[in-house]
């Protein structure tokens, strides 16, 4: 009988997080559910088609909003779902089977695209997904064995238009709820960290590429189910419907509505619908041939909306996180880092020449040396970011590194920084648990949040101000706290005190000393010799890639 208390707890939480916005969203969906009573079948079918578009658009917001990747392949994922759905429906499969198969096919296509291109810089990801959208569109039109070429594939009718309408509405709501759950989960927080600053996220051990691939695959699943069901609704799969314009439209809808809010994309679909109706009205006024004026006006209005640096209709709401005492992360085991005879050359420049170094638990080792002596190169090798030309490194217990420049994730709060950093220490932090918000996952969320608040008190950083608005000295300390939160046994800290005042240096020195005393192994690169002498157990000096003391 643990179900009942768990349900009660969930209800209390939902109530605590409830806002006017939630009321409005629920009311809008409830009212929208009655629309088929007022409209004829043809109009209902049209609206259902628009809602399937909205479902695909909300799905695209996983990739665009949470992961920050400009994906132009969503229309192609819709097409993949449509092909698989149409083939199955043609064979007489039930609509539900076709829908699930469409989702699976869309997810698979998303995984391929994400896996292949999510490592590229964002501009390259946009280009690659755009080429993919064209590839799918051109293939559908020229390869008749895919979807029957110009005639398309005719399938038998499934549910009524009203049935489709309610199904599409439900799917759109489900996609928006999934967005909400994902954005708040450690999955979403880590993606947001990588979106804000990929290099710093890498150093905290965020598996950026894998998470991005999953995000694109999730977008693909939403697109695929929408594609398959839209075929069932229309009774025909028409290859010309899946041109690159569809991908563009979905992307623009997300942009107009706001990628950072769960229902932004759905609002964008409504805006697009209104633009289209307005274009029709103006076209009638001007007595121009309808199709011509419609397309032109819609294009011009769209350009008008998109230009001028539009930031999206719906802005994200920041909601408080529940904290309850509970088992936080298990303390990490002590570990060490031992490097032997590391060598690295960049052309003529010798960055490391036979460097051996051991960093042991409970000690703070300072690495000093003039600019260009190879300190940062050494750190990058120790962190596994670049490969040495020769030599070996033994790592025990995980390594986290802070970057030279202040590299916070400006849109995340310090609390979210720590939750993202400590995600790998979760026992119940998986994607499906997060999506379903299981009681155990929520309890762990609350326990980790309580623990993270405690850590931030110790580091003296306000937990709830977006990190981009914190003073620079707090930003440095925050990244140290985030590195600590990963649970890594070895911390590599690059110039934590550069450009800070005497008081800030004392604060940093105290924090660093405290971490070493706790049993961590620290390697700190620092120019300030006074600071170094006051805290370091050992000083290693580097010059021209060689250890000189």
Partner 1 sequence: MAVALQILASGFAAGAVYGLVAVGHSVVFRLTGVVHFAFGELIALGVFVTLFVAAGSGPVSQTSVGGLRFVGALVVGLLVTAAAGAGSYFLAIEPYRRRGSVIGWVGASLAVAFAVRTLLVVFFDRPAYVFPDPLPFGVWRIGDVTIQERSLFVAGAALALAAAAAALLSRTRTGRALEAIAQDFDAAVLVGLPVARLVGGAFAAAGAWAGLAAILAAPSAAFDVDAAARYGLYGLAAAVVVWFDPRRALAAGLALGLIQATVTSAHAGGTQLGPAYRDAVPLALALAVLAWRARATQELVE
Phi-psi region of 212 (alpha: psi -120 to 50; beta: other; left: phi over 0): alpha
Query: 174-211 burial, b if ≥16 CB within 10 A, otherwise e?
Result: ebbebbbbbbbbbbbbbbbbbbbbeebbbbbbbebeeb
Q: Which of 93, 127, 282, 450 binds partner 1 (CB under 8 A)?
A: 127
- Token reading at 330: 């298990």
Nearer of residues 61 and 547 to partner 1, judged by Cβ: 61
Cβ count near 235 (within 10 Å)? 14
Map the footprint of partner 1 across residues 229-248, applying CB under 8 A.
Answer: 245, 248
Q: Where are the beta strands (DSSP E) in 262-389?
A: 337-346, 349-359, 364-368
Task: Say how far apart CA 52 and CA 72 lie, in whole Å.
Answer: 18
Map the footprint of partner 1 across residues 387-416, applying CB under 8 A.
Answer: 387
Pairing of strands 349-359, 236-237: unpaired
Q: Which of 11, 16, 299, 349 binds partner 1 (CB under 8 A)?
A: 299
Contact present, 215 and 62 (Cβ < 8 Å): yes
Contact present, 350 and 390 (Cβ < 8 Å): no
Task: Say how far apart CA 155 and CA 228 lie, in whole Å.
Answer: 11
Task: Say how far apart CA 209 and CA 213 lie, in whole Å.
Answer: 6
Q: Which stretch binds partner 1 (CB under 8 A): 51-59, 124-132, 392-400, 514-522?
A: 124-132
CA angle 459, 463, 468 (to 5 degrees): 100
Q: Which of 13, 90, 198, 543 binds partner 1 (CB under 8 A)?
A: 198
Nearer of residues 30 and 472 to partner 1, judged by Cβ: 472
Contact present, 516 and 363 (Cβ < 8 Å): yes
Please report the sign of the dihedral spanned by the C-alpha atoms of residue 463, residue 468, residue 469, residue 474. Answer: positive
CB of 198 to partner 1, least distance (A): 6
Three-state DSSP class for residue 535: helix
Q: Which stretch binds partner 1 (CB under 8 A): 96-104, 380-388, 463-471, 495-503?
A: 380-388
Q: Binding of partner 1 at residue 306 (CB under 8 A)?
A: yes
Please report the sign of the dihedral spanned by the C-alpha atoms of residue 253, residue 257, residue 258, residue 259. Answer: negative
CB of 252 to partner 1, least distance (A): 5
Please choose, from the candidates 198, 229, 174, 173, the residue with its C-alpha nearest in 3D space to the C-alpha of residue 69.
198
Q: Which of 56, 60, 64, 488 binds partner 1 (CB under 8 A)?
A: 64
CB of 485 to partner 1, least distance (A): 21
Q: What is the DSSP letter of 63?
A: I
The overall longest dimension of the chain from CA atoms, in Å, is 86
- In the shown chain, the binding pattern of residues 90 to 119 toward partner 1, with x for contact by CB under 8 A and - for none, equals -------------------------xxx-x
Q: Which of 183, 230, 302, 441 binds partner 1 (CB under 8 A)?
A: 302
Task: Say how far apart CA 56 and CA 272 lie, in whole Å.
Answer: 14
Task: Say how far apart CA 226 and CA 210 lie, in whole Å.
Answer: 25
Q: Which of 15, 20, 285, 309 binds partner 1 (CB under 8 A)?
A: 309
Q: Which of 28, 32, 97, 131 binds partner 1 (CB under 8 A)?
A: 131
Q: Binding of partner 1 at residue 179 (CB under 8 A)?
A: no
Q: Binding of partner 1 at residue 46 (CB under 8 A)?
A: no
Nearer of residues 303 and 548 to partner 1, judged by Cβ: 303
Cβ count near 123 (within 10 Å)? 9
Map the footprint of partner 1 across residues 135-154, applying CB under 8 A.
Answer: 135, 138-139, 142-144
CB of 91 to partner 1, least distance (A): 24
CB of 72 to partner 1, least distance (A): 7
Q: Binding of partner 1 at residue 26 (CB under 8 A)?
A: no
Nearer of residues 125 and 448 to partner 1, judged by Cβ: 125
Q: Which of 385, 506, 527, 538 binds partner 1 (CB under 8 A)?
A: 385
Q: Which of 52, 62, 132, 165 binds partner 1 (CB under 8 A)?
A: 132
Q: Binding of partner 1 at residue 128 (CB under 8 A)?
A: yes
Nearer of residues 251 and 448 to partner 1, judged by Cβ: 251
Map the footprint of partner 1 across residues 248-277, applying CB under 8 A.
Answer: 248, 251-252, 255, 259
Q: Which of 11, 14, 96, 199 binds partner 1 (CB under 8 A)?
A: 199
Nearer of residues 303 and 457 to partner 1, judged by Cβ: 303
Task: Say how far apart CA 416 and CA 422 lie, in whole Å.
Answer: 10
Binding site for partner 1 (CB under 8 A): 64, 68, 70, 72, 115-117, 119-124, 126-128, 130-132, 134-135, 138-139, 142-144, 198-199, 202, 209, 245, 248, 251-252, 255, 259, 292-293, 295-296, 298-300, 302-303, 306-310, 380, 385-387
């Amino acid at each position: 009988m643990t179900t009942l208390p768990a349900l009660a707890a969930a209800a209390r939480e939902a109530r605590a997080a409830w806002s006017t916005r939630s009321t409005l969203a629920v009311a809008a969906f409830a009212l929208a559910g009655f629309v088929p009573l007022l409209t004829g079948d043809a109009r209902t079918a049209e609206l259902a088609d628009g809602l399937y578009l909205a479902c695909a658009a909300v799905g695209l917001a996983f990739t665009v909003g949470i992961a920050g990747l400009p994906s132009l392949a969503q229309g192609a994922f819709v097409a993949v779902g449509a092909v698989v759905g149409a083939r199955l429906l043609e064979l007489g499969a039930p609509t539900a089977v076709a829908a699930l198969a469409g989702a699976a096919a869309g997810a698979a296509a998303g995984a391929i695209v994400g896996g292949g291109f999510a490592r590229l810089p964002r501009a390259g990801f946009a280009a690659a997904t755009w080429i993919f959208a064209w590839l799918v569109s051109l293939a559908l039109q020229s390869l008749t064995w895919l979807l029957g070429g110009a005639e398309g594939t005719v399938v038998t009718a499934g549910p009524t238009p009203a049935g489709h309408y309610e199904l599409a509405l439900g799917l759109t709501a489900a996609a928006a709820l999934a967005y909400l759950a994902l954005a708040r989960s450690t999955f979403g927080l880590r993606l947001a960290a990588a979106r804000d600053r990929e290099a710093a996220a890498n150093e905290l051990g965020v598996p950026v590429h894998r998470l991005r691939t999953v995000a694109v695959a999730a977008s693909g699943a939403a697109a695929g189910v929408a594609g398959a069901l839209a075929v069932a609704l229309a009774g025909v799969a028409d290859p010309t419907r899946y041109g690159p314009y569809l991908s563009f439209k979905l992307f623009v809808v997300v942009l107009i509505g706001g990628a950072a809010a769960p229902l932004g994309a759905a609002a964008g679909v409504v805006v697009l619908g209104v633009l289209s109706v307005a274009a029709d009205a103006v076209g009638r006024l001007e007595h121009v041939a309808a199709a011509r004026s419609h397309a032109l006006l819609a294009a011009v209005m769209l350009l008008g909306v998109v230009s001028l640096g539009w930031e999206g209709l719906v802005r994200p709401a920041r909601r408080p996180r529940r904290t309850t005492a509970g088992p936080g992360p298990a303390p990490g085991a002590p570990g060490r880092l031992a490097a032997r005879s590391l060598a690295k050359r960049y052309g003529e420049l010798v960055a490391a020449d036979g460097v051996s170094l051991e960093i042991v638990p409970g000690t703070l080792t300072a690495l000093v040396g003039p600019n260009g002596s190879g300190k940062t190169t050494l750190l990058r090798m120790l962190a596994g970011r670049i490969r040495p030309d020769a030599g070996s490194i033994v790592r025990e217990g995980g390594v986290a590194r802070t970057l030279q420049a202040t590299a916070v994730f400006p849109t995340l709060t310090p609390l979210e920084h720590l939750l993202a950093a400590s995600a790998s220490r979760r026992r119940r932090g998986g994607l499906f648990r997060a999506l379903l918000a299981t009681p155990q996952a929520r309890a762990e969320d609350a326990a980790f949040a309580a623990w993270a608040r405690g850590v931030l008190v110790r580091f003296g950083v306000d937990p709830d101000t977006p990190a981009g608005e914190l003073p620079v000295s707090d930003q440095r300390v925050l990244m140290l706290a985030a590195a600590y939160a990963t649970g890594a046994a070895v911390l590599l800290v690059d110039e934590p005190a550069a450009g800070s005042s005497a008081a800030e240096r004392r604060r940093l020195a105290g924090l660093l000393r405290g971490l070493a005393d706790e049993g961590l192994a620290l390697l700190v690169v620092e120019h300030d010799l006074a600071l170094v002498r006051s805290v370091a157990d050992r000083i290693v000096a580097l010059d021209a890639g060689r250890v000189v003391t």
